[in-house]
Structure 1
Amino acid sequence: MVNSIINSFSRISCILLAGAWITSCSVNPYAETNRVYKKQAKAYGQSLWAVPEVKPEEVNYPVGDYWVGATNFNMRKPNFVIIHHTAQNSTAHTLKTFTTPATSVSAHYVIGRDGKVYQMLNDYLRAWHAGAGKWGNNTDINSSSIGIELDNNGAEPFSEEQIKSLLGVLEMLKKKHSIPAANIIGHSDIAPTRKVDPNPTFPWKKMAENGFGLWYDEDVLDSVMVAKTYPVSDSTILQNGVQDSLVVFEKRPLYEVPESFNPQEALRIIGFDISNLDAAIKAFKLHFIQEDINAVLTDDDKRILYNLYRKYM
């Protein structure tokens, strides 16, 4: 009887353990690629542990008598955040893309439409998210940035849950790495001839209000009524006699752009690559105007650009 109970208990235990094993395996469908990640990270770690070795016959300068290891150093840290939309139809699709070696693309974070955040790389590792691009004098954005991908097909609005999670991730990253507000930008900002993400519905203004990215002063587009006097010819006779002047109230912009203002130079100072000026203007308008995204700067666009230019100086 006792043996029967023990055998029954053993069978139940085995079933439970087997069930737990199956469940644990089914929870994460990326167990195999996670092992690849760990293997690659370990290899990079070993290369950091290795003593730097320079062979005198391979260089054109005299090598010191022995290796001297510095004692004052730390890990390089990211200084930019680049925001993307995935241009795909689901989070699962994007996760699959970023775990398939043949695609040669990745990001540090993926945020789903439901707000769930998937961290795919350690912040200190170099993801392949930015590609060829430039911001200011920085021509290797991947080496100095964190890439955040938002699950979005490229045309739809971003969900409230997604934006809330993004703000949480940015808060964490800004605190952890001391990333300047001005260095939180979009993929289209650094690659204006190739990219248009995040799409025009992305709430850059809300980001700036929370300390992530810059935005222009809202009153820069305000107007005021200004009195202006115009001469009137002597032949103009009003009821009370001859009037030689006429006062008219006109609507004028509150902020005037100086005649010396150079929009091309302003775009360059903000950070845009102006080697293709039309593309740079479109990228600027995608980020800060978010309508009529073309290569023409209206008077209002120029006022916004001038206001931002002064902030970035």
Structure 2
Amino acid sequence: MKKITVVACFLSVVIYACTATGPYSATNKVYKRQAKELVRNLRQLPALSTNNPASFQAATIHFNLRKPNYVIIHHTAQNSCEQTLKTFTIPRTEVSAHYVICKDGTVHHMLNDYLRAWHGGVAKWGTITDINSVSLGIELDNDGSEEFPEAQISSLVTLLANLKKTYNIPTPNFIGHSDIAPPRKQDPSTKFPWKRLANEGFGNWYDATLDSVPPTFNHLQGLKMIGYDIRDSIAAIKAFKRHFIQTDVSPVMGLREKTIVNNLLKKY
């Protein structure tokens, strides 16, 4: 297989963003400039040994780009795709995502998949505290109270299939912003079709038949083992129910909710 150098890969990220005209031509130039700066940094060989001035500069030849291992799904909480595109190209906002999917199914690829977008914020999943460094962010044009149109979800499923295959992303690693940041975020909303995505192979879902749980079953420890940050236990429970229950996002965990947690533990 022909090897592609890191520098060549990073040069390629600017190609789609460098059109001479269009409403984002100015910010596309900023993208190009920032990508070139990354290329300059990557071209630098590792530093010489500091404790032996006579040592040789020796750079390994075995490396490639780091790849994403998670997909985080968001809703934009804005009024239109155009508003979100503007938000992601204004310097003061300091937020971004790799993809934005409009209601009509149009997909905007806003950042090369190997680059780190600013979409997760302060978040935690399992032992991972720097979500942005290991994930792709996908924003769905939705104000948080709307249904997700079929055209939008269809485009999302197609995109997820490509990402899963390209980067070999494990099935459990397709999660929501609310899952990784329970105290702060509620996206995507309870209208998001997590079960449908799980049926397509993107994210886990519980089985139709659930085993009973022992009286001593600790649902909070179960949520923690799945990946949830339980330091704010109420927020963690609500985030879990927003994903897996949806019809009830209260902080109360009944017997059925506990059996669902128990069942999901076998899948994470």
Scaled by the length of structure 1, the TM-score of the pair is 0.77
Shift of 1:45: 1.0
Helix, strand or coil at the partner of 1:70: coil
Amino acid at match of 2:136: I
Among residues 80, 96, 104, which one is paired with 1:106 in the alignment?
96
Among residues 182, 201, 206, which one is paired with 1:216 in the alignment?
206
1:156-235 to structure 2, matched below 5 A, reads 156-220=146-210
Amino acid at match of 2:29: R
Q: Mean alpha-carbon deviation: is it higher for 45-54 or for 181-190?
A: 45-54
Which structure has more relative contact order (CA 8 Å, sep 6+)? It is 2
Distance, in Å, in 2 between the alignment partners of 1:208 and 1:292 is 20
Q: Structure 2: any 5+ residue segments left out of the alignment?
A: 1-18
Cα deviations by residue, 1:122-156 (Å, 9 ceiling, x for unpaired): 00000000000000000000001000000000111
Q: Structure 1: any 5+ residue segments left out of the alignment?
A: 1-23, 57-61, 221-254
Helix, strand or coil at the partner of 2:209: helix
Residue 124 of structure 2 corresponds to: 134
1:87-102 to structure 2, matched below 5 A, reads 87-102=77-92
Paired positions, count = 249
2:250 aligned with 1:294, yes or no?
yes
Percent identity between matched residues is: 55
Task: Note the aligned Cα RMSD (angstroms).
Answer: 1.4
1:235-246 to structure 2, matched below 5 A, reads none
Residue 122 of structure 1 corresponds to: 112
Residue 245 of structure 1 corresponds to: none
- Structure 1 segments, 4+ long, off by >3 Å, are none
Shift of 1:54: 5.7
Distance, in Å, in 2 between the alignment partners of 1:118 and 1:184 is 19
Shift of 1:259: 2.5
- Work out which of the two has the higher radius of gyration on C-alpha atoms and give 1 or 2: 1
Cα deviations by residue, 1:7-50 (Å, 9 ceiling, x for unpaired): xxxxxxxxxxxxxxxxx966x31111111111111110111011
Amino acid at match of 1:300: R
Shift of 1:219: 2.4
Distance, in Å, in 2 between the alignment partners of 1:213 and 1:116 is 23
8 Å contact kept, 2:105–2:153: yes
Helix, strand or coil at the partner of 1:101: coil
1:295-310 to structure 2, matched below 5 A, reads 295-310=251-266
Residue 144 of structure 1 corresponds to: 134
Structure that is richer in helix per residue: 1
Distance, in Å, in 2 between the alignment partners of 1:92 and 1:164 is 20
Distance, in Å, in 1 between the alignment partners of 2:52 and 2:214 is 57
Cα deviations by residue, 1:76-105 (Å, 9 ceiling, x for unpaired): 001000000000000000000000111000
Scaled by the length of structure 2, the TM-score of the pair is 0.90
Residue 42 of structure 1 corresponds to: 36
Amino acid at match of 1:288: F
Shift of 1:303: 1.1
